[in-house]
Structure 1
Amino acid sequence: MALGHPLGASGAKLMTTLIYEMHRRNEKYGLQAICEGGGTANATILEKFI
């Protein structure tokens, strides 16, 4: 995934975008998944409390 960011910054960019979109759409839950390379990946589920 080429986002024009230094190595390791893609996760921060995706998380910031997810939080912004959750706020904009007034969503309670959000899911971020990202490839870590070598056949591995991780996922983060966010829940808005406020």
Structure 2
Amino acid sequence: PSFHEQRSLSERLFREQGVDTKILLGHSNQKMIDIYNDARGKEWKKLVI
């Protein structure tokens, strides 16, 4: 996974534990946090060869 995928996962896991992820990620506005809240890639994609 890319750096941003790992960062997104970390944000979601910490948020579930009640951590203020805005401070954790160093973002100044909620719009950026909302991007990390996106669960993109949560489901597996199957590749058929």
TM-score in terms of structure 2 length: 0.39
Higher relative contact order (CA 8 A, sep 6+): 2
More helix by share: 2
More strand by share: 1
TM-score in terms of structure 1 length: 0.39
